[in-house]
Structure 1
């Protein structure tokens, strides 16, 4: 099946307000910025986003955040995104912060059809007991708090139950891909992209290099085409536009 779309805008033409998105990337590595830009241009609002972090000011998901298009974020890291922190503390944004490994497994479970699982991460903390601020009120009080979670004991050890995550869409980026949706990711850009791809009911991949079916070595494929519904080929300029989150200089 040929899954190639003519453009990122065409790939996201059916998006409407209020839908949910799993988005790959870690910091600014492996972020599907072209698809995020198309989502911004679509004008969709009140979006729920699941991603390790929410980009940085002016890049990645930070573009949607600054425009007030995101209503809820599920992630594990606020990072250096000042607008993210401001909206959260001002009560303009609902944020569910969860342990990073738990986030990864919740996305994977969603892609595998596993409704929930047990993990020791968070046992004995507010992750288990509830009370983490999801949304603040205008006066700084906690308007919405996380609920308590079920705990069970296996072999004498306590585990907290976590629900799987499945989203309406997933946006991911790959170094190489074919028109059947098979994807190969490069080094650190692999990060959350395979997990996000699994969790989306409609997964859209932007690829830096598009090849014909059969050209990818099956042993090198990180995301099988069964998880990908739409593929967008990037231009050389789009593929080369990769920001560095923190530039450091050291003496040789």
Structure 2
């Protein structure tokens, strides 16, 4: 089974940058293959990774719904298997799949159920699945993804951001989401030191504080210039903090054998 890491948080806190840096860290350490999943309806993980995509799972689901009347039995499974593999963006060490927009009008029951099975089988072919998830955890709630090994709840250095992180944790509890480990990551912290008021809010969440990511001019320059995480230098404070976080969490986790199932060509495998 792949080790699943999901990164969530309200819009604008830098969760996608954190996700991209985590993927970069795993690739650099050859902890591959990785399935990167952009599960935010406002998809931009691909931009930070510097890749393009042609199809989304949402579009595939819409096609499947329209084709439901003429697809039967294994034909449904084969149709979605083929389309999902076509949607994979293959890169060195990782593949990217973009979930895309939420459902439109009409019944999506068959498409959701079959698609969930396809995604879960696909995930089993990877060492890690890294998910950039919106705050609503839609794809977790629909069981598109099952157990999460790690849930990173990202906040900025603000009272409102930390309180939102607490509500996201509560939402995961209400949905009955199986999460083995979860913690708070406070991003864009001036000088990397939490102000007393923010620390009080963090302590009130009952979430473990996994990391404090310093405010980083290199990340700000990347955002302003529309660049990618590859343009962030190795001496970046944010990049270093993500590296320490990943090292501490994953070095303590049980080692998993590399998957032996056949996988699509590409993706550094």
Which protein is richer in strand relative to its size?
Answer: 1
Q: TM-score range by the shorter chain?
A: 0.3 to 0.5
Which protein is richer in helix relative to its size?
Answer: 2
Task: Between the two structures, name the one with larger relative contact order (CA 8 Å, sep ≥ 6).
Answer: 2
